[in-house]
Amino acid sequence: MSVVLLRHTPDPERVVAIAGRICYSPSTVAELEERFDDEQVGRMIAMLLRLGHTSPLEHVSFTFGIEASRACLNQLVRHRIASYSQQSQRYVRADSFPYVIPPTVQGDEEARAILDRAAESSRQAYARLLEMGIPKEDARYVLPMGTLSRIVATFNARSLHNLFRLRCCERAQWEIRGIAREMLDLVRGVAPRLFAKAGPMCETHGTCPEGDMSCGRLARLRAAGKGNQP
């Protein structure tokens, strides 16, 4: 499981701030570009996030290279306001496919042996089907959900806020949660003010939408004086 930030809109915070300011200013875009200083950029971003005026965040994008299991990437691509290009099992042979091992399995010798045997059985079945002349696009049906896959994914900043709100939550599945948190760390490295309020709602808004299914983290944050109050 790995995440790299391949590219992003240059000076993304400034782009968002100018896009937001033009909504409230009689100035031209050229005038704003010329005189908008960094302090004004910070104030504008803070105002947009405070007001929930997040459409200007759609003007900047971030492109990631991600390696994770098929099970994880099936969850990622459910975030539809994004662009995806995934390694194809129709065209790429998977004879010696690597696979992701869940932590609960990794720490249990018997469970790990079961998973490894199942993966080896899938590998042998896949190879045999190819030997029989079965196309790769059909032989892949025996491959496990844990098979490692690679994807290039591009999101705008508004879509990323939505992803982080849902997938950084403790209730999210462990692998997609790990991917989301790595992505959040990366974008905060280049646009800290833009993503200062990004993350699970218990951290950013002092609320939890999970109801009776809540993990209890909000209560722990409040007890420690760390959760934002609603």
**In degrees, to the nearest 5, what angle opens at C-alpha 192 toward C-alphas 187 and 194?**
85
Q: What is the pLDDT of residues 108-147, one digit of tens each?
A: 999 999 999 999 999 999 999 999 999 999 999 999 999 9
Q: What is the pLDDT of residues 75-96, one digit of tens each?
A: 999 999 999 999 999 999 998 8
Q: What is the pLDDT of residues 50-66, one digit of tens each?
A: 999 999 999 999 999 99
Options 70, 165, 167, 193, the catalytic residue? 167
Residue with tokens 């989301």: 180
Can you say how many angstroms the Cα of residue 130 is from the centroid of all Cα atoms in its chain?
34
Please give the model's pTM, rounded to 2 decimal places: 0.91
- Pick from 213, 188, 187, 184: nearest CA to 200: 184
Nearest-angstrom CA–CA distance, 122 and 81:
34
Q: Which amino acid is at 225?
A: G
* CATH of the domain spanning 2-84+148-199: 3.30.1360.170
Nearest-angstrom CA–CA distance, 230 and 211:
15
Q: Is the pLDDT of residue 71 over 50?
A: yes
Q: What is the CA radius of gyration of the chain?
A: 22
167 tagged catalytic: yes
Nearest-angstrom CA–CA distance, 202 and 162:
14
* Range(s) within the chain of domains with CATH label 3.30.1360.170: 2-84+148-199
Residue with tokens 């690679």: 150
β-pair partners for 82: 155
For the ranges 26-30, 36-40, 181-185, 226-230, the maximum mean pLDDT occurs at 181-185
Can you say how many angstroms the Cα of residue 10 is from the centroid of all Cα atoms in its chain?
20
Q: Is the pLDDT of residue 162 over 90?
A: yes
Strands (E) in the chain, as ranges, are 2-8, 61-69, 82-86, 148-156
- Ramachandran angles phi, psi of 205, nearest 5°: -125, -5
Q: What is the pLDDT of residue 230?
A: 44
Q: What is the pLDDT of residue 202?
A: 85
Q: Which amino acid is at 212?
A: D
Q: Cβ of 80: how many Cβ atoms within 10 Å?
A: 7
